[in-house]
A and B are shown apart, each in its own frame.
Chain A
Amino acid sequence: EVQLVESGGGLVQPGGSLRLSCAASGFTFSSYAMSWVRQAPGKGLEWVSAISGSGGSTYYADSVKGRFTISRDNSKNTLYLQMNSLRAEDTAVYYCAKDQSPLELGGSIDYWGQGTLVTVSS
Protein backbone atom coordinates (compact mmCIF):
# COMPACT_ATOMS: atom_id res chain seq x y z
CA GLU A 1 0.00 0.00 0.00
CA VAL A 2 1.35 3.39 -0.99
CA GLN A 3 1.74 5.78 1.93
CA LEU A 4 2.96 9.36 2.00
CA VAL A 5 3.35 10.93 5.43
CA GLU A 6 4.26 14.59 5.72
CA SER A 7 5.79 16.24 8.75
CA GLY A 8 7.47 19.47 9.73
CA GLY A 9 4.63 21.94 9.46
CA GLY A 10 3.88 24.51 12.12
CA LEU A 11 3.80 28.18 13.01
CA VAL A 12 6.67 30.35 11.80
CA GLN A 13 7.22 34.09 11.73
CA PRO A 14 7.45 36.01 8.46
CA GLY A 15 10.97 35.77 7.10
CA GLY A 16 11.56 32.50 8.89
CA SER A 17 12.37 29.02 7.60
CA LEU A 18 10.85 25.58 7.81
CA ARG A 19 11.69 22.18 6.34
CA LEU A 20 8.95 19.77 5.39
CA SER A 21 9.54 16.05 5.05
CA CYS A 22 7.51 13.34 3.36
CA ALA A 23 8.19 9.70 4.19
CA ALA A 24 7.17 7.40 1.36
CA SER A 25 6.50 3.68 1.38
CA GLY A 26 4.79 0.99 -0.67
CA PHE A 27 6.44 1.75 -4.01
CA THR A 28 9.90 2.08 -5.60
CA PHE A 29 10.50 5.66 -4.50
CA SER A 30 13.44 6.38 -6.80
CA SER A 31 11.39 5.51 -9.89
CA TYR A 32 8.84 8.27 -9.46
CA ALA A 33 8.87 12.01 -9.71
CA MET A 34 7.40 13.72 -6.67
CA SER A 35 5.74 17.07 -6.09
CA TRP A 36 4.63 19.44 -3.39
CA VAL A 37 1.18 20.97 -3.84
CA ARG A 38 -0.29 23.49 -1.43
CA GLN A 39 -3.73 24.75 -0.56
CA ALA A 40 -4.30 28.01 1.26
CA PRO A 41 -7.26 28.05 3.68
CA GLY A 42 -10.50 28.00 1.71
CA LYS A 43 -8.66 28.21 -1.61
CA GLY A 44 -7.78 25.93 -4.50
CA LEU A 45 -4.79 23.74 -5.23
CA GLU A 46 -1.48 25.29 -6.22
CA TRP A 47 1.45 23.28 -7.50
CA VAL A 48 4.64 24.37 -5.71
CA SER A 49 7.56 22.23 -6.83
CA ALA A 50 8.53 18.94 -8.45
CA ILE A 51 11.61 16.73 -8.60
CA SER A 52 12.56 13.87 -10.88
CA GLY A 53 13.07 10.36 -9.55
CA SER A 54 16.83 10.69 -9.56
CA GLY A 55 16.70 14.15 -8.04
CA GLY A 56 18.60 15.57 -10.97
CA SER A 57 15.82 17.82 -12.21
CA THR A 58 13.81 20.26 -10.15
CA TYR A 59 11.03 22.70 -10.97
CA TYR A 60 9.37 25.52 -9.05
CA ALA A 61 6.34 27.73 -9.29
CA ASP A 62 7.25 31.37 -9.84
CA SER A 63 5.69 32.21 -6.46
CA VAL A 64 8.34 30.22 -4.57
CA LYS A 65 11.35 30.29 -6.91
CA GLY A 66 14.49 31.38 -5.11
CA ARG A 67 12.95 30.80 -1.68
CA PHE A 68 12.01 27.10 -1.65
CA THR A 69 14.23 24.11 -2.41
CA ILE A 70 12.95 20.63 -3.15
CA SER A 71 15.19 17.61 -2.62
CA ARG A 72 14.97 13.90 -2.01
CA ASP A 73 16.97 11.14 -0.34
CA ASN A 74 16.24 7.94 -2.23
CA SER A 75 18.16 5.87 0.34
CA LYS A 76 15.68 7.04 2.96
CA ASN A 77 12.58 7.16 0.72
CA THR A 78 12.05 10.74 1.82
CA LEU A 79 11.09 13.94 0.03
CA TYR A 80 11.91 17.38 1.44
CA LEU A 81 10.88 20.97 0.96
CA GLN A 82 13.14 23.62 2.45
CA MET A 83 11.19 26.85 2.77
CA ASN A 84 13.07 30.11 3.43
CA SER A 85 12.00 33.76 3.59
CA LEU A 86 8.47 32.69 4.38
CA ARG A 87 5.60 35.10 3.80
CA ALA A 88 2.04 35.26 5.07
CA GLU A 89 0.84 34.15 1.63
CA ASP A 90 2.74 30.88 2.03
CA THR A 91 0.25 29.86 4.73
CA ALA A 92 -1.34 26.64 3.48
CA VAL A 93 -1.67 22.91 3.82
CA TYR A 94 1.26 21.37 1.98
CA TYR A 95 0.68 18.02 0.30
CA CYS A 96 3.34 15.58 -0.79
CA ALA A 97 2.28 13.94 -4.06
CA LYS A 98 3.47 11.05 -6.23
CA ASP A 99 3.43 11.03 -10.03
CA GLN A 100 1.32 8.27 -11.50
CA SER A 101 3.74 7.04 -14.15
CA PRO A 102 7.29 5.91 -13.43
CA LEU A 103 10.11 7.83 -15.00
CA GLU A 104 7.72 10.62 -16.09
CA LEU A 105 7.92 14.11 -14.63
CA GLY A 106 4.88 16.32 -14.46
CA GLY A 107 2.21 13.72 -15.07
CA SER A 108 -1.00 13.15 -13.16
CA ILE A 109 -0.81 12.51 -9.41
CA ASP A 110 -2.14 9.21 -8.14
CA TYR A 111 -1.28 9.43 -4.44
CA TRP A 112 -1.35 12.30 -1.99
CA GLY A 113 -0.28 12.59 1.62
CA GLN A 114 -2.65 13.85 4.28
CA GLY A 115 -1.01 17.27 4.27
CA THR A 116 0.83 19.35 6.83
CA LEU A 117 -0.23 22.87 7.80
CA VAL A 118 2.23 25.73 7.56
CA THR A 119 1.16 28.99 9.19
CA VAL A 120 3.25 32.11 8.64
CA SER A 121 2.28 34.75 11.14
CA SER A 122 3.79 37.05 13.74
Chain B
Amino acid sequence: EIVMTQSPATLSVSPGERATLSCRASQSVSSNLAWYQQKPGQAPRLLIYGASTRATGIPARFSGSGSGTEFTLTISSLQSEDFAVYYCQRQPWTFGQGTKVEIK
Protein backbone atom coordinates (compact mmCIF):
# COMPACT_ATOMS: atom_id res chain seq x y z
CA GLU B 1 0.00 0.00 0.00
CA ILE B 2 1.36 3.39 -1.01
CA VAL B 3 1.25 5.99 1.76
CA MET B 4 1.17 9.73 1.01
CA THR B 5 2.76 11.99 3.62
CA GLN B 6 2.32 15.75 3.56
CA SER B 7 4.45 18.31 5.35
CA PRO B 8 4.22 20.47 7.25
CA ALA B 9 0.89 19.82 8.95
CA THR B 10 0.40 23.57 9.36
CA LEU B 11 2.10 26.38 7.47
CA SER B 12 1.89 29.95 8.75
CA VAL B 13 2.40 32.48 5.97
CA SER B 14 1.83 36.20 5.57
CA PRO B 15 -0.27 37.46 2.65
CA GLY B 16 1.91 38.10 -0.36
CA GLU B 17 4.53 35.57 0.68
CA ARG B 18 5.37 32.29 -1.03
CA ALA B 19 4.08 29.02 0.36
CA THR B 20 5.73 25.68 -0.37
CA LEU B 21 3.87 22.48 0.50
CA SER B 22 5.40 19.01 0.25
CA CYS B 23 3.94 15.60 -0.48
CA ARG B 24 5.96 12.41 -0.34
CA ALA B 25 4.93 8.96 -1.59
CA SER B 26 6.22 5.79 0.07
CA GLN B 27 7.01 4.43 -3.41
CA SER B 28 7.03 5.90 -6.86
CA VAL B 29 3.73 7.15 -8.25
CA SER B 30 5.33 8.58 -11.42
CA SER B 31 3.44 11.81 -12.18
CA ASN B 32 0.09 10.45 -11.07
CA LEU B 33 -0.51 13.09 -8.43
CA ALA B 34 -3.14 15.75 -7.88
CA TRP B 35 -3.52 18.64 -5.46
CA TYR B 36 -6.80 19.90 -4.01
CA GLN B 37 -7.79 22.94 -1.98
CA GLN B 38 -10.53 22.74 0.64
CA LYS B 39 -12.06 25.64 2.53
CA PRO B 40 -14.21 25.19 5.64
CA GLY B 41 -17.67 23.89 4.86
CA GLN B 42 -16.87 23.40 1.18
CA ALA B 43 -16.06 20.46 -1.03
CA PRO B 44 -12.47 20.13 -2.25
CA ARG B 45 -11.43 21.85 -5.50
CA LEU B 46 -8.97 20.40 -7.98
CA LEU B 47 -5.90 22.62 -8.40
CA ILE B 48 -3.24 20.50 -10.09
CA TYR B 49 -3.27 17.13 -11.87
CA GLY B 50 -0.52 15.11 -13.49
CA ALA B 51 1.77 16.61 -10.83
CA SER B 52 2.17 19.92 -12.67
CA THR B 53 -0.85 20.80 -14.85
CA ARG B 54 -3.18 23.47 -13.51
CA ALA B 55 -6.86 22.61 -13.64
CA THR B 56 -9.30 24.83 -15.50
CA GLY B 57 -9.65 28.26 -13.95
CA ILE B 58 -6.81 27.88 -11.44
CA PRO B 59 -4.66 31.02 -11.14
CA ALA B 60 -1.07 30.93 -12.32
CA ARG B 61 0.22 31.58 -8.79
CA PHE B 62 -0.44 27.90 -8.11
CA SER B 63 2.20 25.54 -9.48
CA GLY B 64 3.03 21.90 -8.97
CA SER B 65 6.26 20.05 -9.49
CA GLY B 66 7.92 16.71 -8.85
CA SER B 67 7.71 13.11 -9.93
CA GLY B 68 8.35 9.71 -8.46
CA THR B 69 8.13 10.14 -4.70
CA GLU B 70 8.65 13.87 -4.05
CA PHE B 71 6.13 16.54 -4.99
CA THR B 72 5.69 20.22 -4.26
CA LEU B 73 2.79 22.65 -4.47
CA THR B 74 3.91 26.27 -4.57
CA ILE B 75 1.69 29.28 -4.13
CA SER B 76 3.83 32.15 -5.36
CA SER B 77 2.10 35.05 -3.58
CA LEU B 78 -0.57 34.14 -1.09
CA GLN B 79 -3.90 35.88 -1.43
CA SER B 80 -6.50 36.01 1.33
CA GLU B 81 -8.63 33.43 -0.47
CA ASP B 82 -5.76 30.92 -0.50
CA PHE B 83 -5.83 30.24 3.23
CA ALA B 84 -7.25 26.72 3.32
CA VAL B 85 -6.30 23.07 3.68
CA TYR B 86 -4.44 21.44 0.80
CA TYR B 87 -4.43 17.73 0.03
CA CYS B 88 -2.29 15.72 -2.34
CA GLN B 89 -3.74 12.60 -3.90
CA ARG B 90 -2.00 9.78 -5.60
CA GLN B 91 -3.84 8.21 -8.50
CA PRO B 92 -5.60 6.05 -7.83
CA TRP B 93 -7.32 7.34 -4.79
CA THR B 94 -4.93 7.67 -1.82
CA PHE B 95 -4.97 11.08 -0.14
CA GLY B 96 -2.35 12.69 2.04
CA GLN B 97 -3.39 13.92 5.46
CA GLY B 98 -3.45 17.58 4.43
CA THR B 99 -1.54 20.80 5.08
CA LYS B 100 -3.35 23.74 6.60
CA VAL B 101 -2.16 27.11 5.32
CA GLU B 102 -2.98 29.76 7.89
CA ILE B 103 -2.44 33.46 8.21
CA LYS B 104 0.74 34.41 10.03
How many B residues are at the interface, by size bracket?
Answer: 20 to 34
B55 close to chain A: CB less than 8 A:
yes
> What is the number of contacts between chain A and chain B, taking CB atoms within 8 Å?
58
Chain A residues with CB under 8 Å of B46's CB are 100, 108-110
Residues 58-83 of B, flagged 1 when their CB comes within 8 A of A and 0 if not, give 00000000000000000000000000
Which B residues between 71 and 104 are near A, CB-CB below 8 angstroms? Answer: 85, 87, 89, 91-98
Which A residues between 64 and 122 are near B, CB-CB below 8 angstroms? Answer: 95, 100, 105-110, 112-115
Given contacts A44-B95, A44-B98, contact A108 B43 (CB under 8 A): no
Interface size on A, residues (CB 8 A): 21
* Contact among B43, B55, B89 with A113 in the assembled complex (CB-CB below 8 Å): B43
* Contact among A44, A50, A100 with B93 in the assembled complex (CB-CB below 8 Å): A50
A35 to B93 alpha-carbon distance, docked (Å)? 9
A31 CB to nearest chain B CB (Å): 18
A48 to B3 alpha-carbon distance, docked (Å)? 15
Residues of B at under 8 Å CB distance from A? Answer: 34, 36, 38, 43-46, 49-50, 55-56, 85, 87, 89, 91-98
Which 7 interchain pairs have the tightest Cβ spacing? Answer: A106-B92, A112-B43, A108-B34, A108-B49, A47-B93, A45-B95, A44-B98
Extra contacts, 5 of them, besides A45-B36, A45-B95 (Cβ < 8 A), are A45-B44, A45-B89, A45-B98, A109-B34, A112-B45
